[in-house]
Amino acid sequence: MEKNLYFFVSDVHLGLEVGDAAARERKFASFLNSLPQNVKALYLLGDIFDFWYEYRNVIPRRFTRTLGALASLVDRGVDVYFFNGNHDIWTYGYFEKEIGMKILQQPHIVDIEGKRFCLGHGDGLGEGDFGYKLLNWGFKNRFLQWLFSGVHPRWAFALAHQWSRHNRLAHEDNPWEWRGEDERIVKFARTLQQERGSDIDYFIFGHFHCRMQMEIGGGAKMFILGEWIHNFDYVVFDGERCQSLNIE
């Protein structure tokens, strides 16, 4: 009997105008369509889209293949879970009603095949970084979202993509480096593991754009998923262990 498989992906940043954006979208859709018949669930851990905003009767274009592939997975009986990232916060029911995905909030703790997972996008977890948390609060504020909804999609999407492009260029000038034990996400995981009496087996997060795994303590491992801008990374769990893989 084949084992059930569980896939974890984040930071695809579909729509990001780096390299051949259309080719990246086709590659991701092909990955989704190629998932084997014994896949039980797919966890999308945030920033699948570089920008996503749903108006009442308007959704972003350029993602037709991906949305179709996700709908096909749901129709096959695969559970598809979506975590909002810091680039695709603004979902208002389209994914659930039209595709059949399920929206989860971080940190989400779930038992899978007898193992306990802590899942999330990874941004804003842990202590400190109050500037980012304030900005994130603004993004999630219902009144500010209502105001933004009054902006014509043509201008709203142009503004969002310009902001994303500016941030990407700023990071290229001042590249971020993984700080290991000093990262807030590592401290968050260690603290949570201690508070829960070491009952978590795997922590899996995105956001950091670096493929990473490390021991957390109490028998737990943490996986950082990497990204799909250059490296096409993912994690798969076969009921016994997790593996960090990528598409060549």
pLDDT tens for residues 28-68?
999 999 999 999 999 999 999 998 888 877 777 789 999 99
pLDDT of residue 190: 95
Neighbours of 104 (CB within 10 A): 17
The alpha-helical segments, DSSP class H, found in the chain are 21-33, 64-75, 94, 130-140, 142-149, 153-173, 184-195
> How deeply is 215 buried, as exposed, middle or buried, from its count of CB atoms within 10 A (0-12, 13-18, 19+)?
exposed
Beta-carbon contacts of residue 81 (< 8 Å; ≥ 6 apart): 41, 42, 43, 44, 101, 102, 103, 104
pLDDT at 228: 93
In the structure encoding, which two tokens stand for residue 166, read together?
């500016």
Residue ranges in the chain modelled with pLDDT below 70: 1, 128, 130-132, 135-136, 138, 160-161, 163-176
Residue 62 has a pLDDT of: 84
Task: Say what the pLDDT of residue 172 is.
Answer: 55
Sequence-ordered list of residues with C-beta below 8 angstroms from that of 83, at least 6 positions apart, any chain:
10, 43, 44, 45, 46, 103, 104, 105, 106, 108, 119, 120, 121
* Per-residue pLDDT, 154: 77
Q: Which two tokens stand for residue 86?
A: 């810091």
pTM: 0.90
Contact 8, 204 (CB under 8 A): yes
CATH of 5-246, one of 1.10.287.470, 3.60.21.10, 3.40.50.720, 3.40.430.10: 3.60.21.10
Residue 63: C-alpha distances to residues 51, 69, 100, 164, 225 (Å): 11, 10, 16, 18, 22
CB 96 within 8 A of CB 115: no
